[in-house]
Chains A and B, each alone.
Chain A
Amino acid sequence: MSQQNDPLIIAGKSYNSRLLIGTGKYRDLDETRLAIEASGAEIVTVAVRRTNIGQNPDEPNLLDVISPEKYTILPNTAGCFNAADAVRTCKLARELMDGHDLVKLEVLGDQKTLYPNVVDTIKAADELVRDGFKVMVYTSDDPIVAKELESIGCVSIMPLGSMIGSGLGILNPHNINVIMEDCKVPVLVDAGVGTASEAAVAMEMGCEAVLMNSAIAGARNPILMASAMRKAVEAGREAYLAGRMPRKKYASASSPLEGTIVG
């Protein structure tokens, strides 16, 4: 299979799966685990939050369910609205993960859109890269911002397809194409994908991978959708590698016209 000879490489590490998934919004940890397994994802995002003081000490921990030995855990900075908070969160994440320094940087602009605050995203990316972090960065679909983040040294550029959790698909494929044209590090679509065909579209365009959470967790049957996404991402990648047929203005018969019994 082409999948085996076609690894996704992020920060020097190879992955067979080109689907990265989040762990938010699931009913419970069991559903989270089953969805991850069905998706085939090898990179899984988590959020970093205050522990509840006085909570049940026997409560299962997310990292017991998705073990860092089995998966590449990608801590995110979701919920941070400025560079300082995002940098603090990444440093806590690195300590939490015993020095593992791959992070998903997202600095948000406002609650309504969850659009990236690109000014603070650039500021935080710069500080984190200098501090030795490998930064996968969530950003807008602005090619100039993407280029800036690449030149800072981010290991992956992750433009949004549409707003986080919106399920509106890839609203500006042209911009994602422009970003990919020049970018030397993997470009992933992060956010916006709503269903399998949209994941396939991202992959057919030539994106290196897709990162999603709500499209799976928000489906009526998240585990079945996780499986659908796995297939869509694989199908989209293979279609990209295969190279689609050219579009034609008029029909072109698939069966030979010679030898027909008509006429």
Chain B
Amino acid sequence: MQIQVNGEMLQVQDDITLSSLISQLELGEKRIAIELNLEIIPRSEHVETVLKEADRVEIVHAIGGG
């Protein structure tokens, strides 16, 4: 199925969980926060959150800024 991650279309396996997506993107160890279809998904819910076709995922981290 196709989902959108940070504005880019991405082909992923059906019923992939958020935590699997994170580890596939090799972001597992990073300090990140995730929004799914405009809703924050707390870290504790990444394992149980199953993605569906056309979901929009935003993955953010902290960078330098004023």
Contacts and interface: CB of A to CB of B under 8 A. Distances in A.
A61 B31 contact: yes
Contact of B5 (A46, A53, A57, A61): A53
A51 B62 contact: no
A57 B66 contact: no
Contacts of B65: 22-24, 45-47, 49, 76, 78, 213
Contacts of B34: 95
B27 interface: yes
A51 B64 contact: no
Nearest to B28: A57
A164 B62 contact: no
Contact of A96 (B26, B31, B64): B31
Nearest to A190: B66
Contact of B58 (A25, A32, A50): A50
A124 interface: no
A51 B40 contact: no
Nearest to B22: A51
Nearest to A26: B64
Q: Is the interface of A mostly helix, strand, loop or mixed?
A: mixed
Nearest to A62: B62
Interface in A41-64: 45-51, 53-54, 57, 61-64
A23 B65 CA distance: 5
Contacts of B25: 51, 53-54
Contacts of A95: 33-34, 40, 42-43
Interface stretch (A85-93, A173-181, A249-257): A85-93
Interface in B11-66: 25-27, 29-35, 38, 40, 42-43, 58-66
Contacts of B60: 48-51, 92, 96
Interface of A: 22-26, 32, 45-51, 53-54, 57, 61-64, 73, 75-76, 78, 88, 91-96, 98, 164-165, 191, 211-214
24 contacts: A22-B66, A24-B64, A25-B66, A46-B64, A47-B65, A48-B61, A50-B59, A50-B60, A51-B25, A51-B59, A51-B60, A51-B61, A57-B27, A62-B61, A62-B62, A78-B66, A88-B38, A92-B40, A93-B33, A95-B33, A95-B34, A164-B66, A165-B66, A214-B66
In the A-B complex, the 3 residue pairs with the closest CB atoms: A47-B65, A22-B66, A213-B66
